[in-house]
Amino acid sequence: MEISDLRIALYSGNYNFVRDGANQALNRLVDYLLRQGAAVRVYSPTTDTPAFEPTGDLVSVPSVAFPGRGEYRFPTRISGDVRRDLERFNPNIMQISSPDLVGHRMVSWARRQNIPVLASVHTRFETYPRYYNLAFLEPVIEAMLRRLYRRCNALVAPSESMAQVLRYQRMNYDVGIWSRGVDRKIFSSDRRDLEWRQSLGIADDEPVIGFLGRLVMEKGLDVFSDAIDELKRRKVAHKVLVIGEGPAKQWFEDRIPGAIFAGFQQGSDLGRAVASMDMLFNPSITETFGNVTLEAMACGLPVVAAKATGSQSLVKNNESGKLITPGAIRGFADALQVYCENIDLRNAHGSAGERRAEEYSWDQINNAVAQTYIRLVRQRKAGHGPIKQDSVR
């Protein structure tokens, strides 16, 4: 069987109406599959104002705006039109990337059609409640995720550290790796631009601590702010540069007075902005991979990150950055202070990260997913299905 023999139905709860690492990875995957001759049909909620144009054929799934987070859509059901479109398309493999209500129903539909299902895990949804004072819900959400993922034939995670978490949580026995790539034409240390920094009021010798990502609380904005406060108490010279937009922007601006908010950047402008930082500070624990970490490494920056599933598969501690216990404010401040005050170490660790980033090719990474599709289709033809839920211990 070849990639060109595949007919892939891809369900995403958010394919292109918000720009984030997971959505861009899915669109890159579809682009790769189409270039290899596969047939792909994407099913996702849509809006009149998407963040970017979708790759491939996109079928709209009924949805409503998410309460309090209007930029997100909550998929509600598989409509008759969607069901008929699925039947006409007649896929031989399904991928789900969102463990929501429609994701559950897509899995049920595929199982009734005897079609194998691959689930891609893009974020640690079970950790989100702790950022909204609802940590008691984590075990409930984990149980719901387990019920869904055990009904799938296999899972793919963006990093080995996340795959290990999924195995430990007994989500599935068949867990592979779908890593992430980086566009070296955009992200490179050559993109550093001192004139652009100067236009923002940053001196050439002023160490810049960067934040890159959507401005939402689950990205660890509170931890970031607390660590910056600690640097100020220590009188460590630095400047904070924030790249991104989101609903918590006003909170973040109020919390870090004096920080430079450069807004949303994309393409070559984004590469310039990241390369013009001196270090990336990524305290988030919700990512399964950490696209921003890889992009910063490709730009030659050392990364100070939480020792969590996203960054610990990318950053080598004390070689290309610093991995700190999640939430350890003093530990984060210690690491940032070292890079602010030791330019030689900063440059050495940044160079090591850039060398590491050269290993991540998008086509090679996406081919691994295509080969997983082929394996699952072959296994289904041989009569193998997902491991029964009650047999997973």
pLDDT on residue 80: 96
Whether 94 and 104 have beta carbons less than 8 Å apart is answered as no
Half-sphere exposure in the Cβ direction for 281 (13 Å, CA)? 32
Report CA 97 to chain centroid distance, whole Å.
12
| Model pLDDT, residue 229 | 97
Question: Are 230 and 335 found together in one domain?
Answer: yes
Tokens 């973040």 correspond to 252
Are 157 and 231 found together in one domain?
Answer: no
Residue 151: name the closest of 372, 380, 393, 385 by CA: 385
Q: Which pLDDT score, from 0 to 100, does residue 125 have?
A: 52
Task: Return the pLDDT at 390.
Answer: 44
pLDDT value, residue 392: 39
Question: What is the Cα 293 distance to its own chain's centre?
Answer: 10
Residues 106 and 242 in one domain: no
Q: Nearest to residue 63, comparing CAs of 51, 50, 76?
A: 76
How many CA within 13 A on the CB side of residue 7? 9
Q: Indicate if 143 and 237 belong to the same structural domain.
A: no
Whether residue 213 is found in the same domain as residue 71:
no
Are 48 and 177 found together in one domain? yes
365 in the same domain as 334: no
Same domain, 150 and 229: no
Which run of H or of E encompasses 60?
Answer: strand 57-60
Pairing mode of beta strands 69-75, 175-177: unpaired
CATH classification at residue 83: 3.40.50.2000
- State how many domains the chain has: 2
Based on the domain organization, do 76 and 150 belong to the same domain? yes
User: Domain range for residue 156?
Assistant: 3-181+361-391
pLDDT at 105 (0 to 100):
97
Per-residue pLDDT of the chain (393 residues; tens, 9 = 90+): 999 999 999 999 999 988 888 888 999 999 999 999 999 999 999 988 888 999 999 999 999 987 766 667 888 999 999 999 999 999 999 999 999 999 999 999 999 999 999 999 977 554 554 555 656 567 777 888 899 999 999 999 988 888 888 898 898 989 999 988 888 889 999 999 999 999 999 999 999 999 999 899 989 999 999 999 999 999 999 999 999 999 999 999 999 999 999 999 989 999 999 999 999 999 998 776 678 999 999 999 999 999 987 688 789 999 999 999 999 999 999 999 999 999 999 999 999 999 999 888 888 889 999 999 999 999 998 887 665 544 433
Same domain for 205 and 347, yes or no, is: yes
Q: Are residues 367 and 284 in the same domain?
A: no
Residues 107 and 195 in one domain: no
Strand bridging mode 63-66 / 69-75: antiparallel
The structure's pTM equals 0.67
